[in-house]
Amino acid sequence: MQKPNVEMVFAGDEMTLIQPHTFWTREELLGKEGIFFLKDIADHLGLDSILIKKKALALREKGDSPWELMGVKKIWNHWVIRMKVFAPYYRKHLMPVYQTVAGDWDANTLLKQKGIFLLSAVCKLVPFADHQLRYQAKKNPNSKTELGIWKDKKLKMYLVDMEPFSQWIHQLWSEGDSPDSDDE
C-alpha cells in the first residue's frame, strides 16, 4: 500500500480557520482568505444554510466537487466554507439584490447610503412603522420612483431604493404632511 503525499494536504488559504467579526462589511468578509464555518457567516451574508447544503449535495450527487465549484464541504458535523472559492460563487448565484443595514448606523447614516435595502430593516432605524410605509407605497402607483419603495414580486418583500427614499423622507420630515391629506 502506497503512502499518501502529506506534503500538500491544505492549500495556502485552507490553513486558517477564521472567526468573522460582526463589524465586517459583506465585501470585507468575502475578501478574506481562509476557512469559515457556514453557521458563522450565514446571517452576515444573508444565506439560507439549508439551501447552501442542498446545492452542495446536489453537486456531489452529479459527481462534481462542491469544494472546487462553490467552496463548500462538510467535515464531521460542520459545514465549511473556503472563501476564496465561495466568494465568486456567492456573487454570481447567491448575492441578494439588497444590501444589509450595518448595526452601527443610525437613521441619518442610513439615509446617506446608496443602493437597495429591505424595508423591514430600514424601518428599524427611521421613525415610521413598516405598515405605514407599505401603505404609502400601495396607494402611490409611482411609489418605486417617487418614494423609493416597492414590493419585489420575485422576493415577495418590500424593498427601498435609498436615493429617492431619502429625498422623500427629507421632504416629508422638513415640510410635514400636506394640509389636504386625510386625517387619521
pLDDT tens-digit map of 97-151: 888 888 889 999 999 999 999 999 999 999 999 999 999 999 999 999 999 999 9
Q: DSSP 3-state assignment of 158?
A: strand
| Selection from 17, 30, 22, 20 nearest residue 75 by Cα | 17
pLDDT at residue number 180: 52
Q: What is Dmax (Cα atoms) for the chain?
A: 88
> At residue 132, what are phi and psi to the nearest 5 degrees?
-65, -45
- The confidence score (pLDDT) of residue 47 equals 86
pLDDT at 43: 86
Q: What is the pTM of this model?
A: 0.60
| Predicted local confidence at residue 157, as pLDDT | 87
Q: What pLDDT is attached to residue 110?
A: 95
Q: What is residue 145's predicted lDDT score, i.e. its pLDDT? A: 95
Instruction: Give 36's strand partners.
Output: 81
Q: Which residues of the chain have a pLDDT value below 70?
A: 1-6, 177-184
